[in-house]
């Protein structure tokens, strides 16, 4: 029985581990189109300012399944589901019994004049980070398009190198998916203190080049910003080429059922390439979130090795990070407006902010800034769609703990005692 996994990041690795757990002797071939050995993608911003070396971001042996037939720098070009084969590169054929498509996603480049060519970068791979690090040598001005996670991580990384950084964001606040207005206002202060300039409600009109080098960026309102390099961080798009080459059903992502099986019975999918259901709303989403990818990988891998695990859906938002020394956790639907069964509790004290979004008896959204302790209990309540009506008073307080949950719901004590 040969299991082939295309992709060596969060989803692919979690799947390989799940296959190995169920079948210690399974043959597992993992293909990656990157030349670097498997690494932790979220750590690549550290490569830009040399806070970490390549060695530091590698996935360690203890977190890699044993006996993995890992093949690097291999492009999976074509899929033939009928014959259970992949074409690698030009004409190498690899057959499989079970296939996992975990090809991930690639950065989107909007159609803006001059946004191609030398001096314009995206940040998705180790190679991208190396390229930015090299271009940053001697650079004085960087302009970043998009104030999401990647845009802000890039901004802080380049500030560490002493470069003047401006971030341009179309929406009216930074990290717009993860933050609401109030929390974005807190982080606006942190970002400004770090010396990062943010320009909101604007986008690029053109990126201007001279002699094969970026010189400046012209914004919508006609203003011009000096730039030696430009970074684009406006989101990603699922890598669907392989799935499409085999005639699998795709829309915005690769379509799967609740077992993460594609339209072909022996082909599964996991991670950023997948189009799945929002765990809360049921809406169709393509999620670009590490934790979702790892969850999907574990479930797809288990099913590929003969299990029957069910995937409940992905969080459209499930992120923790620290920006400028201030931590934030955002989970679920954090933008819902009060009314029609929605209640919002929000409380700000200086740099600390707590926002809980309720839909009737359920908690559906959370933002914690500053004090993020025990965020996981909230996350679990959201994930499990627990009836939180007996806990309302404790939940909104800063000292909510697992003891409250146990006492309100003795049915879970068994889980607490037996877990592990």
* Chain positions contacting other proteins, by CB under 8 A: 14, 40-43, 46, 57, 59-60, 62-63, 290-291, 294-295, 298, 318-322, 327, 329, 331, 372-377, 379-380, 394, 401-404, 406-407, 410, 413-414, 416-420
| Residue 225 Cβ vs other proteins, minimum distance, rounded to whole Å | 30
Q: Which residues on adjacent β-strands are paired with residue 22?
A: none
In angstroms, what CA-CA distances link 318 with 37, 330, 388, 398?
27, 6, 20, 20
Q: What angle do CA 132, 172, 44 make, to 5 degrees?
A: 25
Number of C-alpha atoms within 13 angstroms, CB side, residue 222? 0
Q: Which residues on adjacent β-strands are paired with residue 254?
A: 250, 274
State how far the Cα of 202 lies from the Cα of 199, in Å rounded to an integer. 7
Beta strand 229-232 with 141-145 is: parallel
State how far the Cα of 342 lies from the Cα of 194, in Å rounded to an integer. 36
In the 3-class helix/strand/coil scheme, how is 90-150 assigned residue by residue? CCEEEECCEEEECCCEEECCCCCECCCCCCEEECCCHHHHHHHHHHHCCCCEEEEECCCHH
State how far the Cα of 136 lies from the Cα of 48, in Å rounded to an integer. 8
Q: Which is nearer to other proteins, 251 or 413 (CB)?
A: 413
Q: Which is nearer to other proteins, 201 or 416 (CB)?
A: 416
| Residue 279 Cβ vs other proteins, minimum distance, rounded to whole Å | 14
State how far the Cα of 286 lies from the Cα of 284, in Å rounded to an integer. 7
| Residue 223 Cβ vs other proteins, minimum distance, rounded to whole Å | 35
Q: Which is nearer to other proteins, 340 or 414 (CB)?
A: 414
DSSP run (H or E) holding 31:
strand 27-31
| Residue 45 Cβ vs other proteins, minimum distance, rounded to whole Å | 10
| Residue 10 Cβ vs other proteins, minimum distance, rounded to whole Å | 8
C-alpha dihedral sign at 145, 150, 156, 162: negative
Q: Which is nearer to other proteins, 203 or 316 (CB)?
A: 316
Q: Which is nearer to other proteins, 142 or 328 (CB)?
A: 328
| Residue 153 Cβ vs other proteins, minimum distance, rounded to whole Å | 11
Strand, helix or coil for residue 358: strand
| Residue 325 Cβ vs other proteins, minimum distance, rounded to whole Å | 8
Q: Which is nearer to other proteins, 68 or 242 (CB)?
A: 68
Q: Which is nearer to other proteins, 115 or 406 (CB)?
A: 406
Give DSSP secondary structure letters for 276-322. EEBTTT--EEE---HHHHHHHHHHHHHHHTT-------B-S-EEEEE
| Residue 406 Cβ vs other proteins, minimum distance, rounded to whole Å | 6
Q: Which is nearer to other proteins, 50 or 416 (CB)?
A: 416
Q: Which residues on adjacent β-strands are paired with residue 85?
A: 80, 95
Q: Which is nearer to other proteins, 264 or 394 (CB)?
A: 394
| Residue 99 Cβ vs other proteins, minimum distance, rounded to whole Å | 22
Distance of CA 240 to the CA centre of its chain: 17
| Residue 369 Cβ vs other proteins, minimum distance, rounded to whole Å | 12
Q: Which is nearer to other proteins, 227 or 328 (CB)?
A: 328
Q: Which is nearer to other proteins, 42 or 119 (CB)?
A: 42
Q: What angle do CA 109, 37, 240 make, to 5 degrees?
A: 40
Q: What angle do CA 390, 396, 401 make, to 5 degrees?
A: 75
| Residue 268 Cβ vs other proteins, minimum distance, rounded to whole Å | 18
């Amino acid at each position: 029985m040969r299991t082939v996994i295309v992709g060596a990041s969060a989803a692919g690795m979690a799947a390989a581990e799940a296959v190995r757990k169920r079948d210690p002797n399974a043959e597992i071939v993992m293909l990656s189109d990157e030349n670097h050995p498997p690494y932790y993608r979220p750590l690549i911003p550290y490569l830009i300012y040399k806070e970490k070396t390549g060695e530091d971001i590698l996935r360690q042996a203890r977190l890699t399944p044993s006996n993995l037939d890992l093949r690097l720098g291999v492009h999976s070009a074509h899929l033939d589901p009928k014959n259970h084969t992949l074409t690698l590169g030009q004409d190498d054929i690899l057959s499989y019994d079970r296939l996992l498509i975990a090809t991930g996603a690639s950065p989107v480049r909007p159609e803006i004049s001059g946004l191609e060519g030398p001096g314009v970068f995206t940040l998705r791979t180790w190679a991208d980070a190396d390229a930015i690090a090299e271009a940053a040598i001697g650079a004085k001005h960087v302009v970043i398009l998009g104030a999401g996670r990647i845009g802000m991580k890039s901004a802080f990384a380049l500030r560490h190198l002493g470069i003047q950084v401006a971030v341009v964001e179309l929406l009216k606040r930074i990290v717009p998916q993860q933050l609401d207005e109030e929390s974005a206002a807190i982080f606006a202060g942190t970002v400004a203190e770090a010396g990062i300039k943010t320009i909101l409600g604007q986008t690029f009109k053109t990126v201007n080049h001279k002699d094969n080098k970026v010189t400046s960026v012209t914004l919508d309102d006609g203003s011009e910003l000096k730039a030696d390099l430009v970074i684009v961080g406006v989101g990603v798009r699922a890598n669907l080429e392989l799935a499409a080459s085999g005639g699998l059903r795709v829309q915005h992502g690769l379509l799967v059922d609740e077992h993460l099986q594609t339209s072909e019975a022996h082909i599964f999918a996991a991670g950023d390439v997948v189009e799945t259901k929002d765990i809360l709303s049921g809406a169709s989403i393509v999620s670009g979130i590490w934790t979702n990818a790892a969850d999907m990988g574990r479930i797809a891998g288990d099913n590929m090795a003969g299990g029957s695990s069910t995937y409940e859906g992905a969080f459209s938002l499930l992120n923790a990070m620290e920006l400028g020394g201030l931590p934030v956790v955002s989970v679920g639907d954090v933008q819902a407006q009060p009314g029609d069964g929605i209640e919002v509790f929000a409380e700000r004290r200086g740099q600390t902010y707590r926002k809980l979004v309720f839909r009737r008896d359920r908690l559906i959204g959370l933002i914690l800034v500053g004090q993020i302790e025990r965020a996981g209990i909230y996350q679990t309540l959201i994930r499990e769609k627990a009836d939180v009506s007996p806990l309302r008073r404790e939940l909104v307080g800063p000292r909510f703990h697992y003891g409250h949950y146990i006492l309100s719901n003795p049915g879970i004590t068994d889980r607490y005692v037996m877990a592990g």
